Each structure stands twice: as C-alpha cells, then as structure tokens.
A and B are shown apart, each in its own frame.
Chain A
Amino acid sequence: MKVSYRGNAISQTANTAIHAIFIVIGLSCVVPLLLVIAVSFSDEQTIAANGYRFLPEKLSLDAYRYLWQEGRTILNAYAVTIFTTVVGTVLSLAVISTFAYPLTRKDFSYRKLFLFLVVFTLLFNGGLVPWYLVTTQVLHLKNNIWALIVPHLFNGWYVMIMKTYFQTTIPDPVLESAKIDGAGEFRTFLTIVLPLSLPGLATIGLFSAIVFWNDWWLPLMLITNDKLLNMQYLMYKALSFADYLSNASGQNYGSIMQLSPPALTFRMALAVVGIGPIVLAYPFFQKYFVQGLTVGAVKG
C-alpha cells in the first residue's frame, strides 16, 4: 500500500500515540494465535492444573502425537478441504467469467435480462429454509462432495466485479478486429479476453479460494457423513464436543472423538494444523488481496 508523502508531518507525540495504538491492535490480532500454539505444545497435566499460559510451563508433544495417531481422519479432512478449494475455485472462475463476459457485450440481446437476474439476487433471496429444502431435496446436494462446492459456485458480487473488470480492460476495437479476422465467440473469449484479464481472474480466484478454504457453513448444513468433513468442520466438532473429549462418556461423534485425552492440548493442536496454512500463506497473498480490494472499491 502506497503511503503518499505529505510535506507537513504530524507532531512527535501524535506519531508516538499512533504507533502505540497500532501496536496494541496488532498484538490483539497476533497474541491469541500465539496462545493457541503455546497451549498445543504444552503438557496436558500442567494445563489441566494451571490453565492456559502464553509460555508453556512444561513442553510436550503429546497433543501432536495423538494428532499423528488420528492422522487418517485429519488427512481425510485436509483432502476434502483441498479438493473443494481447488475444484471449487476453478469451476467458479469458469462459471463467473463465462457469465460475466456476455454481460459486457452491447450486441448481446439478453444482456439487460441477465443483468437483472444477477442484480436481483443481490437484493433478495428466498431465505434459508427454501434454500435448504431445494438444495437437499431437489438438487440432492446432501452428504456428497458436490454439496461442498456447487452452492458457492455462482456469486453475484463476483460476477459484477468481473464484468466491470472486462469492461475496463478490454477495448471494443480488440473484439471487433478479432471478429473481422474470423475468430468465433469462444475463440475470442479463450484467446483474447481471458489472457487480457488474468489479474482480474486472479483476484476473484483468490477471494473464492478463501471462501472454500474457510467454509464450515456448507458442512454444517449439508454433511452428516464423517468421511466428508473438511478441516474447518472438524475443528468445529472438536471444540463443540469439548465435554465429550474431557469426560469420554458421550455418544459416538465419529472417530476423532474416540480419542482418550490429552483433550485440552489436542484441541489446540488441531486448531494449529487447521489455521496454520492460511496464516502461513497470508503474507504471500496479502498484497494481491489488497490490490484486488482497492481496484474493486475504486471501480465500484
């Protein structure tokens, strides 16, 4: 992010105060993550007796050993997350770009109608209950991998952003000359429009990959089969069935819950493994995300 130069700077006191504010806020964003990591590397008995600590009083890898024993469940959840993220992002880019492009074409007779169909979904939707009944009973998106992908594929906001992007980056004369050269619509789209729009596609792809990676809503609504749980939902189960973990007397909540303790530290180790990848990848995609956000904000 560019910080523009202004000839007159603020006073030293104000400068210090601003730094102090940002340091406090910054710490509030990082410290909770450090706590989760610290607990995951702590000894279960010490935590049970003394509670969570920012620095482990006694280091232990027990939680990760249990995690390793339960490796199959976790690998399976990771496989589901990675599959839905990759396939979901690619498919949603395909759907969004192919739908957005014709909306930019003034010679497309159904442009206004289709534009209305998209915009209306941004203003009004049927609500959760009809959506749930249609999704599960008509489309049969229940307890299968597509239930974790299909509902997120079409996004009206992304279509609008993509449409604006196409409009501002692809000059009409380029399309016209392609037409004169005898290129068909599909060929023009694949060999001219898409290559010229790679930054826009990358932005929407990034937004959409984050949605798929962080999704726990679709498994909460549509998945009861343990084999199809993704990483986020596994974390949800481990936290919400905490009572089961600590007294080991509950019902069968799936294989992950049949562990004997270290429940307290294990839960946090699971969180480290679950949250880790996005935190590690974050510094690399942050720049592109901020660029995409600012472009979206400026171009509407």
Chain B
Amino acid sequence: MTRLARLYKNGALLVMTLPGLLLLLALHYLPIGGILIAFKNYSLSGGSFFRNFANSPWIGFDNFEFFLNTPDAFIITRNTILYNLVFIFLGTAISVFLAVAFNELRNRRMAKIYQTTILLPYFLSWIAVSYLFFGFLSADKGILNQLVFEPLGHEGVDWYNRSVYWPYILVFANVWKYAGYNCIIYLAAIIGIDNDYYEAAALDGASKWQQIRHITIPSLSTVITLLVLLGIGRMFFADFGLFYQVPMNSGAIFDVTNVIDTFVYRALINSGDIGMSSAASTFQAFVGFILVVLSNWIVKRIDSEKAIF
C-alpha cells in the first residue's frame, strides 16, 4: 500500500486524533526540544522564542557547572530524594495498615463514614490545605501555640521560621492528604481476595492475626511492590504544592523545604535566571527518566500487565 493510500484509508480516524495530536506536539514534544535551552545562554529579551533561541550562543555544559557548584544543588537533591523515600515507605505502611483494618470493620455505616472522612483531604487543593495548617501553626493566633504550648507554660513556637519541625510537618501533610486515596487502592485488592482462603484458615483454627499475616499481606505484596516501584520512579519529582504552599514559601526554612521543583520555579519566576533553572530542570528530567525506566523495567519483570510500557 502506498503511503498516500494508507493515509486515505485511515483518514477518518486520523482526523479524530488531530486535536489531541496537536496538543501533544505543542505542549509535550516542543518543550522536549526546548531542553536545548539548557545548553545555551538564552535571554528573554524581545523577539519570538525561535529567534531568541537562534540568537543565543551555545555554551555547552556551563549552566550545569554553575548549577552544580551552588550549595543549593546538593540541598534540593537531598531533600527531594529523602522526602520521597519517607513518603513511599511510611505512606505505604500506613495505607496498607488502614486498608487491612478497614476491611475488618463490621459496622458498615461507620465504615462508610470513616471512608468519607479520610478521603476528604485528597480533594482539597494544597492552597486549601495551607489554610488548614495555618489555623494550627500561625505563630500568634494558631491553635498549637494558643491552646497547647502556652497553656502548658511553654513559649509559643514560630513555626514558619523554624526548620527543625518541617520535616515532620511535611511528612504528616503528605500522609494525611494521600492516605485515604491509597487506602482505597489497597482495599480494592483486599476485597478481590477469594473468601475461601479465610474460611479454610478459620476452620483450621488460624487466628485473625495469622490470617492477615499469611493471607492478606502476601496477597497484597504484588500491588504494594508495584506502587512502591512507581513511587521510586517518581523519586526525582516533588509535589510542588506541598513544598511551596504548605510552608507558605517561607524563606527561613528553605533548607528543609526547598526541593528541585521549588528551586526551578523560584530561579525561573522570581530571579528570571533561565540558565540556572533550565540546568536544574533538565538535570531533573534526565535523572528522573533513568529512574522511571529502571523501575518500570523491574515492574515489567514482576507483572508485565502493570508496566507503563
């Protein structure tokens, strides 16, 4: 079949894909080409994007060298990876625990209420969450200082200016927002387990705890492994809203709240430093890509149906 004949034969279906295809090319593939900016001394001054691009000189890896020599490069990479590791492991442990516990509830009406409440934070934007946290953490008006610390005779804590507390606050915020959502994913897997296993185990005199340890958890292991690996694949990307909105962009605690995504944003929007920000975002894109491909390769070996490609 000639190329033209093939185009004609697929005409209608091709026309259908056109809107999606144009968006895909403009919003995903053009920016992938734009990665070359990181290797240029790109300046925003006047002209169209393509003219600016053509006019700015190639400078090789200078931007990357400049970026990697800042103290921030280490801090943001460390923060991004460590927070993600804690989120993945603590978040998974808590969600699995909640799902197993939830499944044991006999009172259907209460179970429904619990599910509704723990899933609620998932639907709040990080802006809304930052308001909720501000109600508790505001230094002079917040609940923690007003109703807990000061009545106990402690001095109030200037939460938004003290780094020590933020690793805990951010981990709490992340687990709090996503636990309900992940719990449902695991619960779906638990409900899929064949009831006969439990009945047989109960007949043989297995306690509830033994049933959970030897039936429920092993049945969940594939789902857990897959979700953990997907998380590891995303380990170089941070949830911008969590790290930017919840600490309310407070400069005094950047050492523990700055991650690659917030660094790139501030370098680009606040400082207008295209060289620095594009070096950091390209660094993230490539290392992130390697992690995604690696973890997907492992996923594929475990369960080829769950792999992204």
Contact = CB atoms under 8 A, between A and B. Distances in A.
Q: Is the interface of A mostly helix, strand, loop or mixed?
A: helix
B282 to A, nearest CB: 6
Nearest to A122: B308
Contact of B28 (A29, A121, A235): A121
Interface of A: 1-11, 14-15, 18-19, 21-23, 25-30, 32-33, 35-36, 39, 47-48, 50-54, 94-96, 98-99, 101-102, 105, 108-110, 114, 117-119, 121-135, 137-139, 150-151, 153-154, 159, 184-186, 189, 210, 214-217, 221, 232-233, 235-236, 239-240, 264, 267-268, 271, 274-275, 278-279, 282-283, 286, 290, 293-294, 297-298, 300
Q: Which 6 A-B pairs have the closest CB atoms?
A: A130-B34, A99-B20, A127-B281, A126-B31, A185-B12, A51-B146
B285 A52 contact: no
B23 A9 contact: no
Contact of B289 (A53, A98, A124, A135): A124
A29 B23 contact: no
Contact of B106 (A15, A102, A121, A130): A15
B13 A119 contact: no
B117 interface: yes
A286 B119 contact: yes
Given A51-B141, A124-B285, A186-B12, A18 B146 contact: no
Interface in B266-309: 268-269, 274, 277-278, 281-282, 284-285, 288-289, 292-293, 296, 305-306, 308-309
B70 interface: no
A216 B285 contact: no
Given A121-B24, A134-B31, A278-B123, 17 more contacts: A1-B112, A1-B191, A4-B103, A18-B101, A25-B118, A29-B176, A35-B136, A109-B9, A124-B292, A127-B284, A129-B37, A134-B34, A150-B27, A185-B13, A186-B16, A235-B131, A282-B116
7 contacts: A26-B117, A29-B120, A127-B284, A129-B37, A129-B278, A268-B135, A274-B128
B222 interface: no
Contacts of B16: 98-99, 101-102, 185-186, 189
Contacts of A139: 26-27
B108 A123 contact: no
A134 B192 CA distance: 46
Nearest to B126: A216
Interface of B: 6, 9-10, 12-14, 16-17, 19-21, 23-24, 26-35, 37-38, 42, 48-50, 52, 98, 101-108, 110-121, 123-128, 130-136, 138, 140-143, 145-147, 176, 179-181, 184-185, 187-189, 191-192, 195, 198-199, 202, 208, 211, 240-241, 245, 248-249, 261, 264-265, 268-269, 274, 277-278, 281-282, 284-285, 288-289, 292-293, 296, 305-306, 308-309
Nearest to A124: B289
A154 B37 contact: no
A22 B109 CA distance: 13
A216 B241 CA distance: 9
Contacts of A121: 24, 28
Contacts, number: 316
Contacts of B48: 137-138
Nearest to B146: A51
Nearest to A187: B12
Contacts of A154: 20, 23-24, 27-28
Given A133-B37, A275-B128, A125 B31 contact: yes
B110 A126 contact: no
B277 A130 contact: no
Contact of B49 (A22, A50, A137): A137
A133 B34 contact: yes
Contact of B6 (A22, A101, A109): A109
Nearest to B7: A109
Contacts of A6: 195, 198-199, 202
Given A29-B121, A126-B285, A35 B135 contact: yes
